[in-house]
Structure 1
Amino acid sequence: ELKKEVTRTLTASNPRIPQDIIRFSFKDRAYKLVDNMDQTAIHFTLNGYLVHKDSDEGRCQSNRSNTEAGSFIEEAPVEASAEATEETETKDEEPTEDAEEEEAQTAEAAEEVEAAEAEGAEEPPPPKAPEKKLANQFNFIERGSTTYHNPLREEGYQTDPTPFETFSENVNQWCIYDAYMEELERIEKAKEKEKAKPVAVKKEDMKTGRKLSYVEPLHVDSLSKVAKAAKMAERMVNLNTFDDIAQDFKYFEDASDEFRGQEGTLLPLWKFQYEKTKKLAVTAISWNPKYKDLFAVGYGSYDFMKQGHGMLLLYTLKNPSFPEYSFSSESGVMCLDFHSDHPYLLAVGFYDGNVAIYNLKKASSQPSYNSSAKSGKHTEPVWQVKWQKDDMDNNSNFFSVSSDGRIVSWTLAKNELVHMDVIKLSAEGTTMQGPEGLQLQTFGSGTSFDFHKKIDYLFLVGTEEGKIYKCSKSYSSQFLDVFEAHHMAVDSISWNPFHLKVFISCSSDWTVKIWDHTIKTPMFVYDLGTAVGDVAWSPYSSTVFAAVTIDGQ
């Protein structure tokens, strides 16, 4: 990918041209935006007067220059012949006494001329003088031209005079009174609006006894803009700082893995930490289905004796130094799940049995929906929440499982969270003898569940007793099947995304088992030698899965 060629196309449009030029249109009598802007960007201009030699105008000029040179050469012999004729005329006018001598001389001269011509005929003609070439090495010649001056034109416009009319009205005493009353009402409304604004709050300093006053800020738009710009700058700085880690994240391959056999290597990349969560344990992590760099982390405690507040943080790989969102809760967070269609909705389960919905679009530190004792909250810790498809009324809903043995369906109504018990995990043969001979039925403790990928109503529930219940949304009092799966608590359970009958389970009894839900016995059993905390199928293969144990492997 680093060697991949990226093609960039140059367009004829000028990106620096202003796009908001407005001019007054006399036709429409209004200011209008100029649509067609000149996209030409001139970098260099030169006014030349050269003409190519091979063009028509170049040939005409070269012929003209040759003819002018030939005319100058021919003028010289013409003048010489004219002088000779003048001498002969003057000689003819002399007395005839010397005529015979002159005739003899002329005859001798004629004989000499004929002899010279005979010798010249025998000699070769002299070579012609070569044509003079132009001194221009670039095959161009000069050209002169005159520009045509356009005649001046006059243009005038004649407009109609603006229409006007006379307006008059009589004002009585009651009209003046009504106008004053309207003004008084307007002033009173303005005073009421000023009262609604925050007034300067006075506080008395306990140490000095002085009274301090301050005004609460009305608008935080400017602060939010500055915060947004600061967040972008912080991301840019962090991307430059962690660029080497990002390159390793995308291209790292350890060449020594070929010689390690079944063992591999892990390369630590980013480290996310927050000052307020130092004494809390990470209990849940969930990646956002749409924004691949965003994930949520839940903080709480598994220790029954050390329960306190919890926190919900959302980190992004673009800024590992500080969380994008931060929410605080009264109880520890135990589980998380993002909505697949609405990635801004986050379902959270707490240690005190409550469930809540956080809307990341709203700038509020409190959840948008929250359960309570009146709305049917769980009485034990919520171990898993999972979103489901919207119901018939297009209301979002999710399911939760808790140690109190209830599988609850929660629906997001307009202003409240509506609950409905789907099934109760009643354990067989676990009735207790209560006071006055009453028989008290105990319920199983649910730890995990998973819905079928294709069959919407079918789901599996794992319990602390090691049993796995196959249930249906349609039957609230009966189980479709019960698997005696493990000897200790079932920590995780998951359907295979490719094979519709196969699911996998892991437990604290050190085993990972693969099941066919139509068969009571497991197909594969893997003993990992220590308690298994979680298991997950591979998204690209139906026969590959990953498991983690409590000893860090």
Structure 2
Amino acid sequence: MLLLYTLKNPSFPEYIFSTECGIMCLDMHSMHPYLVVVGYYDGNVAIYNLKKPNSQPSYKSSSKSGRHSEPVWQVRWQKDDMDNNLNFFSVSSDGRVVSWTLVKNELVHTDIIRLNVEGTTTEGPEEFMVHTTGCGTAFDFHKQIDYLFLVGTEEGKIYKCSKTYSRQFLETFEAHNMAVDAVTWNPYHSKVFMSCSSDWTVKIWDHTIKRPLFIYDLNSAVADIAWAPYSSTVFAAVTTDGKAHVFDLAVNRYEAICNQPVVAKKKNKTTHVQFNAVHPVIIVGDDRGQVTCLKLSPNLRKMPKEKKGQEVQRGPAVEIAKLDKLLNLVREAKS
């Protein structure tokens, strides 16, 4: 099912769409919030229009139109193309990153990149070369550089890719020992991204350096991570032991400033976390279908103190400088 809620009434959804197949991921369009793109377990993608109340998606891929052969793990809207057509990307276990464009009421697909694992080419029968495909699990697009994106895989690698150069990866990061569950660019700093994995770790990277700058071991598989929209140094992570962790690197760069159980039972596993773009609220999803809405206490969102006669500097430049200061400390320590 696809359910859409409002915080004004969290007990019952505003919109309910029943589907024939499990939905693995979704993304709401930033300019047209009534358009929701979803990825299914059977490899299809679809667009729902909330202005049209019927329960069927307005547009859906098919086996003829390039659907994935494995589950779709992430979908993400992109800027409209040159002809102002709607455009989104999808990543799947089948190793394809696909661009979908809505042209004349039809979804047209283009394979952007295939995740062939380097160094694993084997000779098949009659000297055919067989490439081992990497299973895509997560991706994220750079906030400023339009062509640049990252793809995480089940093998623990993260590939830096370009939308315009599909033959080869720009960079390969030997990131984790198990599947990469999420990868996300920092909303302020153009060089920094974060990844998490089932190997219990969260890692923070500078994309121009092959080694991570920060590594956090959370004692359980890390299912999801999210940067705070209001600070370059704050992020949240959820682990499969049912806990939410909030970090602020500016307060403590060695451990979380909050570790809190979100789901009471040991049987529940937390699977997703997301910050509200405006309010100091996070939502956490679990594998039993529950969504928990949590408000961050004032201690978790400390703002710089105002000094007498001085105006507190705020804005993107301040956030970038704050994170840069931390990164320089780490780089000096490592060099």
TM-score, normalised with respect to structure 2: 0.71
Picking from 156, 168, 171, the partner of 1:481 is 171
Give how far 1:355 is off. 0.1
The reply to whether residue 458 of structure 1 matches residue 173 of structure 2 is no
Structure 1 unpaired stretches of 5+: 1-310
Give how far 1:322 is off. 3.1
Give how far 1:327 is off. 1.2
Letter in 2 for 1:536: A
Give how far 1:440 is off. 1.9
- Show the 5 A alignment for 1:19-30: none
Determine the C-alpha separation between the residues in 2 that align with 1:317 and 1:450: 26
Picking from 26, 43, 56, the partner of 1:336 is 26
Letter in 2 for 1:440: V
The reply to whether residue 530 of structure 1 matches residue 220 of structure 2 is yes
Indicate the SS of the match to 2:118: strand
CA deviation profile, 1:68-94 (whole Å, cap 9, x unmatched): xxxxxxxxxxxxxxxxxxxxxxxxxxx
Picking from 160, 165, 170, the partner of 1:470 is 160
CA deviation profile, 1:431-451 (whole Å, cap 9, x unmatched): 345445533222101100000
- Show the 5 A alignment for 1:344-423: 344-423=34-113
Letter in 2 for 1:457: Y
Match of 2:240 in 1: 550
Indicate the SS of the match to 1:469: strand
Determine the C-alpha separation between the residues in 1 that align with 2:12 and 2:215: 43
Determine the C-alpha separation between the residues in 1 that align with 2:6 and 2:185: 29
- Show the 5 A alignment for 1:74-473: 311-473=1-163
Determine the C-alpha separation between the residues in 2 that align with 1:315 and 1:521: 40
Match of 1:518 in 2: 208
Indicate the SS of the match to 1:329: coil
Give how far 1:415 is off. 1.8
Letter in 2 for 1:516: D
Indicate the SS of the match to 2:119: strand
CA deviation profile, 1:383-412 (whole Å, cap 9, x unmatched): 000001111100110000001110000001
Task: Using the aligned pairs only, state the percent identity.
Answer: 77
Indicate the SS of the match to 2:105: coil
Give how far 1:320 is off. 3.7
Letter in 1 for 2:87: N
Letter in 1 for 2:40: F
Determine the C-alpha separation between the residues in 1 that align with 2:23 and 2:119: 33
Structure 1 pair 542–352 and aligned structure 2 pair: CA distance change class (3 A): same
Match of 2:259 in 1: none
RCO comparison, higher one (Cα < 8 Å, 6+): 2
Aligned residues: 243
Letter in 2 for 1:361: K
Determine the C-alpha separation between the residues in 2 that align with 1:349 and 1:494: 19
Structure 1 pair 326–484 and aligned structure 2 pair: CA distance change class (3 A): same
Give how far 1:321 is off. 4.1
Indicate the SS of the match to 1:377: coil
Determine the C-alpha separation between the residues in 2 that align with 1:378 and 1:455: 27
Match of 2:313 in 1: none
CA deviation profile, 1:223-248 (whole Å, cap 9, x unmatched): xxxxxxxxxxxxxxxxxxxxxxxxxx
Match of 1:130 in 2: none
Letter in 2 for 1:414: K
Letter in 2 for 1:537: W
Give how far 1:363 is off. 2.3
TM-score, normalised with respect to structure 1: 0.43
Give how far 1:317 is off. 2.8
Letter in 1 for 2:140: D
Determine the C-alpha separation between the residues in 2 that align with 1:423 and 1:406: 6
Match of 1:509 in 2: 199
Determine the C-alpha separation between the residues in 1 that align with 2:20 and 2:128: 37
Letter in 2 for 1:527: D
Give how far 1:490 is off. 0.5
Determine the C-alpha separation between the residues in 2 that align with 1:529 and 1:323: 34
Give how far 1:328 is off. 1.4
Letter in 2 for 1:458: L
Match of 2:190 in 1: 500
Structure 2 unpaired stretches of 5+: 244-335
Give how far 1:329 is off. 1.4
Determine the C-alpha separation between the residues in 1 that align with 2:190 and 2:51: 36
Give how far 1:498 is off. 1.1
CA deviation profile, 1:174-207 (whole Å, cap 9, x unmatched): xxxxxxxxxxxxxxxxxxxxxxxxxxxxxxxxxx
Determine the C-alpha separation between the residues in 2 that align with 1:396 and 1:418: 11
Indicate the SS of the match to 2:189: coil
Determine the C-alpha separation between the residues in 1 that align with 2:79 and 2:30: 9
- Please give the root-mean-square deviation of Cα atoms over the aligned residues, in Å: 1.2
Determine the C-alpha separation between the residues in 2 that align with 1:318 and 1:546: 24
Picking from 541, 545, 548, the partner of 2:231 is 541
